[in-house]
Amino acid sequence: MVLIGDVRAANAGDWLADRACRRCDVEIDLIDLAAACLPDVRPDVRPEVVPTPPAVRDLAPWLASGDGFVVVVPERSPGSLSNVIAWYGREWRGKPVAFAGGGCDRLVRRLRPVFADAHTVTVPGVARVPADVDRMLDQLVWWARPLRETRVTTPYPL
Protein backbone atom coordinates (compact mmCIF):
# COMPACT_ATOMS: atom_id res chain seq x y z
CA MET A 1 0.00 0.00 0.00
CA VAL A 2 1.41 3.40 -0.96
CA LEU A 3 0.41 6.29 1.29
CA ILE A 4 0.94 9.78 -0.10
CA GLY A 5 1.76 11.97 2.86
CA ASP A 6 1.09 15.34 1.25
CA VAL A 7 -0.12 16.93 -1.97
CA ARG A 8 3.50 17.94 -2.71
CA ALA A 9 4.39 14.23 -2.79
CA ALA A 10 1.53 13.19 -5.11
CA ASN A 11 3.60 12.96 -8.30
CA ALA A 12 6.25 10.84 -6.57
CA GLY A 13 3.51 8.63 -5.08
CA ASP A 14 1.86 8.11 -8.45
CA TRP A 15 5.20 7.25 -10.05
CA LEU A 16 6.12 4.86 -7.25
CA ALA A 17 2.74 3.09 -7.40
CA ASP A 18 3.08 2.71 -11.18
CA ARG A 19 6.58 1.26 -10.76
CA ALA A 20 5.43 -1.13 -8.04
CA CYS A 21 2.47 -2.31 -10.15
CA ARG A 22 4.92 -3.68 -12.70
CA ARG A 23 6.13 -6.22 -10.16
CA CYS A 24 4.45 -9.61 -9.88
CA ASP A 25 5.01 -9.90 -6.10
CA VAL A 26 2.98 -6.90 -4.91
CA GLU A 27 -0.53 -5.53 -5.18
CA ILE A 28 -0.82 -1.78 -4.79
CA ASP A 29 -3.46 0.45 -3.29
CA LEU A 30 -2.68 4.15 -3.53
CA ILE A 31 -4.07 6.32 -0.75
CA ASP A 32 -3.76 10.10 -0.78
CA LEU A 33 -3.96 11.02 2.89
CA ALA A 34 -4.95 14.60 2.12
CA ALA A 35 -8.03 13.29 0.30
CA ALA A 36 -8.88 10.98 3.21
CA CYS A 37 -10.05 14.03 5.21
CA LEU A 38 -9.05 12.65 8.58
CA PRO A 39 -10.10 14.99 11.37
CA ASP A 40 -7.53 16.80 13.47
CA VAL A 41 -9.04 15.59 16.75
CA ARG A 42 -6.69 13.04 18.22
CA PRO A 43 -7.91 9.58 19.30
CA ASP A 44 -6.71 10.06 22.89
CA VAL A 45 -10.28 11.11 23.67
CA ARG A 46 -12.34 8.10 24.80
CA PRO A 47 -14.54 6.76 21.96
CA GLU A 48 -17.60 6.80 24.19
CA VAL A 49 -17.13 10.57 24.57
CA VAL A 50 -16.24 11.31 20.94
CA PRO A 51 -17.47 8.71 18.42
CA THR A 52 -15.14 7.56 15.66
CA PRO A 53 -15.55 9.96 12.73
CA PRO A 54 -16.81 8.48 9.42
CA ALA A 55 -13.56 9.29 7.56
CA VAL A 56 -11.60 7.27 10.13
CA ARG A 57 -14.02 4.33 9.88
CA ASP A 58 -13.86 4.45 6.06
CA LEU A 59 -10.06 4.25 5.88
CA ALA A 60 -9.62 1.56 8.56
CA PRO A 61 -10.42 -1.47 6.34
CA TRP A 62 -7.96 -0.28 3.68
CA LEU A 63 -5.13 0.03 6.20
CA ALA A 64 -6.09 -3.24 7.89
CA SER A 65 -5.89 -5.09 4.57
CA GLY A 66 -2.36 -3.86 3.80
CA ASP A 67 0.56 -6.19 4.49
CA GLY A 68 3.12 -3.41 4.17
CA PHE A 69 3.24 0.31 3.55
CA VAL A 70 5.36 2.76 1.61
CA VAL A 71 4.96 6.26 2.98
CA VAL A 72 5.82 8.88 0.38
CA VAL A 73 7.14 11.65 2.57
CA PRO A 74 7.27 15.35 1.69
CA GLU A 75 10.02 17.66 2.94
CA ARG A 76 8.02 18.77 5.96
CA SER A 77 5.46 16.97 8.08
CA PRO A 78 1.87 17.33 6.93
CA GLY A 79 -1.00 17.04 9.36
CA SER A 80 -2.53 14.22 7.33
CA LEU A 81 0.49 11.99 7.96
CA SER A 82 0.42 12.69 11.70
CA ASN A 83 -3.31 11.98 11.76
CA VAL A 84 -3.09 8.61 10.01
CA ILE A 85 -0.48 7.44 12.51
CA ALA A 86 -2.49 8.72 15.47
CA TRP A 87 -5.94 7.48 14.47
CA TYR A 88 -4.98 3.86 13.81
CA GLY A 89 -3.38 1.35 16.12
CA ARG A 90 -4.46 -2.16 15.25
CA GLU A 91 -4.11 -1.50 11.52
CA TRP A 92 -0.34 -0.80 11.83
CA ARG A 93 0.67 -3.59 14.22
CA GLY A 94 3.12 -6.18 12.97
CA LYS A 95 3.54 -4.66 9.52
CA PRO A 96 6.55 -3.18 7.71
CA VAL A 97 6.74 0.47 6.73
CA ALA A 98 9.17 1.89 4.17
CA PHE A 99 9.79 5.50 3.26
CA ALA A 100 10.27 7.18 -0.11
CA GLY A 101 10.89 10.77 -1.09
CA GLY A 102 13.60 13.31 -1.65
CA GLY A 103 14.96 15.71 0.92
CA CYS A 104 12.93 14.23 3.77
CA ASP A 105 15.63 12.61 5.94
CA ARG A 106 14.91 14.78 8.96
CA LEU A 107 11.19 13.99 8.85
CA VAL A 108 11.84 10.25 8.40
CA ARG A 109 14.15 10.29 11.45
CA ARG A 110 11.23 11.71 13.45
CA LEU A 111 8.72 9.25 11.98
CA ARG A 112 10.68 6.05 12.67
CA PRO A 113 10.14 6.06 16.46
CA VAL A 114 6.50 7.07 15.98
CA PHE A 115 5.93 4.08 13.72
CA ALA A 116 7.91 1.90 16.15
CA ASP A 117 5.48 2.97 18.89
CA ALA A 118 2.71 1.82 16.54
CA HIS A 119 4.41 -1.63 16.57
CA THR A 120 5.64 -1.60 12.98
CA VAL A 121 8.98 -2.61 11.52
CA THR A 122 10.58 0.18 9.50
CA VAL A 123 12.70 -0.66 6.47
CA PRO A 124 16.12 1.03 6.71
CA GLY A 125 16.94 4.00 4.52
CA VAL A 126 14.81 6.27 2.38
CA ALA A 127 14.16 5.37 -1.23
CA ARG A 128 15.03 8.27 -3.48
CA VAL A 129 12.58 8.29 -6.28
CA PRO A 130 13.60 6.72 -8.66
CA ALA A 131 17.04 5.42 -7.68
CA ASP A 132 16.40 3.11 -4.71
CA VAL A 133 12.77 2.15 -5.21
CA ASP A 134 13.32 -1.43 -6.39
CA ARG A 135 15.64 -2.24 -3.49
CA MET A 136 13.20 -0.68 -1.01
CA LEU A 137 10.31 -2.72 -2.47
CA ASP A 138 12.41 -5.90 -2.29
CA GLN A 139 13.07 -5.24 1.39
CA LEU A 140 9.45 -4.36 2.12
CA VAL A 141 8.24 -7.61 0.51
CA TRP A 142 10.92 -9.54 2.42
CA TRP A 143 9.44 -8.27 5.70
CA ALA A 144 5.78 -8.36 4.64
CA ARG A 145 5.60 -12.06 3.73
CA PRO A 146 6.70 -13.62 7.04
CA LEU A 147 4.92 -10.98 9.10
CA ARG A 148 1.66 -11.66 7.24
CA GLU A 149 2.01 -15.40 7.89
CA THR A 150 2.72 -14.77 11.55
CA ARG A 151 -0.25 -12.40 11.95
CA VAL A 152 -2.51 -15.11 10.48
CA THR A 153 -1.32 -17.86 12.84
CA THR A 154 -0.49 -15.86 15.97
CA PRO A 155 -2.41 -12.79 17.12
CA TYR A 156 -0.21 -9.81 17.85
CA PRO A 157 0.36 -9.56 21.63
CA LEU A 158 -1.15 -6.41 23.10
pLDDT tens digits for range 93-103 = 999 999 998 77
Provide the 8-state DSSP code for 103: S
Find out whether 82 and 73 touch, Cβ atoms under 8 Å: no
pLDDT tens digits for range 47-89 = 566 677 888 889 999 999 999 999 988 776 666 787 788 888 8
Q: Write the single-letter amino acid at 31.
A: I
- Structural domains present in the chain: 2-153 (3.40.50.360)
Q: What is the pLDDT of residue 33?
A: 85
pLDDT at position 154 over 90:
yes
pTM, to two decimals: 0.87
Find out whether 74 and 104 touch, Cβ atoms under 8 Å: yes
Of 55, 15, 51, the closest CA to residue 33 belongs to: 55
pLDDT tens digits for range 6-43 = 766 778 888 888 889 999 998 899 988 888 888 876 65
Instruction: Spell out a b/e string for 95-119, using b for 16 or more CB atoms within 10 Å of the CB, else e.
Output: bbbbbbbeebeebbeebeeebeebe
Burial, 128: exposed, middle or buried (Cβ in 10 Å; 0-12, 13-18, 19+)?
middle
